[in-house]
Amino acid sequence: MILFVTGTGTGIGKTVVAAALASCATGSVAVVKPAQTGVAPGEPADLAEVAVMSGCPDGHEFARYPDPLSPHHAAAISGLPELDLDDVVDRIGALADERDLVLVEGAGGLLVPFTRDGWTLLDLATELGGRIVLVTAAGLGTLSHTAAALQVLRTEDLGDADIVIGSWPREPGLAERCNAADLARRCGVADLLAPAGLGGAVPADAVYAEDFPALARAALAPRLGGTFDSDAFVAQWAPPHVRE
């Protein structure tokens, strides 16, 4: 199986969600970062964080560019080769033949281009199949961003994504609490999500957890290997006008 971990933007928790998925998985797991940007050669990057949090050492980075930009600009500025879509498809496919699960973490959002030709994680998922895990924010703006990403996936016949809130605050404000209800389809937003509700919500301080595997299980829904209950989450956090 292949899971593509993408997001509605950058800096919203994709790497921590990937680590949680790896931690909750059974069988052999490989984690792939096709393009890592903003990190110098030899420095620890996203795959190192995943390994530390999840204990999964089987990481594969196909290209690294030092500038903190989208991969197509970062490759051009550095003068390093761009990633070839067919080669990436072949390499991930080979890993999937030998592992029970391959997690592919994208760069930035769903439609960020990897090359100047413009291929994206969406193209990779279309070529390889598999499921999408869409990491989204908790605060204002997330409903539109999430709905737009889901609409793209449905237009491309990739089905409904599992939606995971990548950084749920310790003390959420009213906006976050209302958004949680909407993202779990509890406030009449009929086309936002799959009927299964939220795929999880990862605490904002998850990276510092003493027992990350236990946190991961609590943060992800059973279909992703955890025990997270979307209905209970909404009941806990939704404001009264949603619960009534």
pLDDT range class, residue 69, cuts 50, 70, 90: very high
Cβ atoms within 10 Å, residue 213: 16
Report in angstroms the alpha-carbon separations of 173 from 107, 166, 207.
Answer: 28, 16, 21
Domains of the chain are: 2-243 (3.40.50.300)
Q: For residue 106, what are the contacts with CB-CB under 8 A and spacing of at least 6? A: 4, 5, 6, 7, 14, 34, 112, 121
Q: In whole angstroms, what is the distance from residue 83 CA to residue 80 CA?
A: 10
Residues 6+ apart with CB under 8 A from 60: 30, 31, 32, 33, 47, 91, 95
The separation between CA 38 and the C-alpha centre of its own chain, rounded to angstroms, equals 18
Q: Which of 33, 72, 145, 217 is catalytic?
A: 33
CB atoms within 10 A of CB 235: 13
Q: Is the pLDDT of residue 187 over 80?
A: no
Nearest to 12, CA basis, from 95, 190, 130, 136: 136
pLDDT at 131 over 50: yes
The arithmetic mean of pLDDT across residues 185-213, rounded, is: 75
Summarised one tens digit per residue, pLDDT across range 226-243 is: 999 998 999 899 888 776
Looking at per-residue pLDDT, the higher value among 200 and 184 belongs to: 200
Instruction: Give mean pLDDT, residues 104-117.
Output: 91
Mean pLDDT along residues 207-226: 93
Strand partners of residue 65: 37
The structure tokens listed for 224 are: 């992703």
Average pLDDT over residues 192-215: 83
Q: Which residues, 6 or more positions from 155, have their beta carbon under 8 angstroms from its beta carbon?
A: none
d(CA 150, CA 134): 9
Does 212 have pLDDT greater than 90?
yes
Angle of the 142-155 helix axis to the 174-183 helix axis, nearest 10: 20
pLDDT for 128 beyond 50: yes
Q: What is the pLDDT of residue 36?
A: 92
Does the predicted TM-score (pTM) go above 0.85? yes
Residue 194 reports pLDDT greater than 60: no
Active site residue 14: no
Whole-number mean pLDDT of the chain?
A: 90
Residue 91, SS3 per DSSP? helix
For 39-66, write each residue's pLDDT tens digit: 888 888 899 999 999 999 999 999 999 9
Distance CA 205, CA 208 (A): 6
Determine the pLDDT at residue 64. Answer: 95
**C-alpha to C-alpha distance for 61 and 43, rounded to whole angstroms:** 13
Q: Is the dihedral of CA 22, 27, 212, 174 positive or negative?
A: positive
